[in-house]
Amino acid sequence: METKREDRIQRLLLALKKTDKIHLKEASLLLDVSEMTIRRDLNAEPAPVILLGGYIVMDPKNNPATHYFVSEQKMKQVAEKRRLAKCAASLILDNDTVFFDCGTTMPYVIESIPESRIFTAICYSLNTFLALQEKPHCDVILCGGAFKSSNSIFTPIGRSCEIDFIRPAKAFISAAGVSIEHGVTCFNFDELLMKHQAMERSAQCILVADSSKFDQVRPAAIAPLARFNTLVSDAKPPQAYLDFCQQADVTLSV
């Protein structure tokens, strides 16, 4: 006999046959339970659906054809991402033009932006784009190109890209590694072009990295840590980073 949890998951599976994603609020109404109940259902033990950035989607491990979110990423450091997301979102002001990087942290940042905020967003990843669509006063610009399913991004195939014609006020850059000696890094080389262009064109470069990323070095080099104006994290980093940020005039926001 199915438990109530299993029944709810089966109903979500049926709903996902008609659409690629279901917002948590919509799922709550569909199942007539609280959002917290759904979160508990999905966190209790492995399920064929997962919650990512406020959306319920098929787990990519069980559904390889689903490419809406970074397929190799799991739900890690969720609490940390939520804490830093509130801090990062508070930096966005009315009428700002903002670049949002790829990765699983950005949907949490976008989710934390007040519904009343009026802003323009530039992005190049599908999960970031889907999260931005939920903001009623946001004008979204999606940079197109060839789709990379491994990290859910679009890469330019021509000589120009939409960001060539935009000067963002702020660029939120995600990373998989932060090191004083080796700089800020990520796993995928095909992300570097958009990261570099966004940083070159933006008035402020804001690094968004949870505390698990400190003292980690990945293969693709984004920029030296001193290149960023602000570092946003969920917790105070080791003392060496505090000293470095003070000397390099990098604002630390936790």
Q: How far apart are alpha carbons 78 and 81 in whole angstroms?
A: 5
At 247 the pLDDT is 97
Q: How far apart are alpha carbons 184 and 245 in whole angstroms?
A: 13
Strand partners, 173: 207
Per-residue pLDDT of the chain in tens (254 residues, 90 and over written 9): 358 888 898 889 888 877 778 899 999 999 999 999 999 988 887 788 888 778 888 876 555 444 334 544 445 678 888 999 999 999 999 999 999 999 889 999 999 999 999 999 999 999 899 999 999 999 999 999 998 877 889 999 888 899 999 999 999 999 999 999 999 999 889 999 999 999 999 999 999 999 999 999 999 999 999 999 999 999 999 999 999 999 999 999 99
Report which secondary-structure segment, H or E, holds 126: helix 126-132
Report which secondary-structure segment, H or E, holds 198: helix 192-201
Q: How far apart are alpha carbons 15 and 151 in whole angstroms?
A: 25
What are the φ/ψ torsions at residue 132 (nearest 5 degrees)? -65, -30
Give the SS3 label for residue 139. strand
> Which two tokens mark 183?
């700089």
Neighbouring residues of 63: CB distance < 8 A, sequence distance ≥ 6: 48
Q: How far apart are alpha carbons 39 and 43 in whole angstroms?
A: 6
Residue in the structure block whose two tokens are 């739900």? 75
Indicate yes or no: pTM above 0.75. Answer: no
Report which secondary-structure segment, H or E, holds 153: strand 153-155
Give the SS3 label for residue 234. coil
At 60 the pLDDT is 61
Residue (of 87, 121, 99) closest to 251 by Cα position: 87
What are the φ/ψ torsions at residue 147 (nearest 5 degrees)? -85, 130
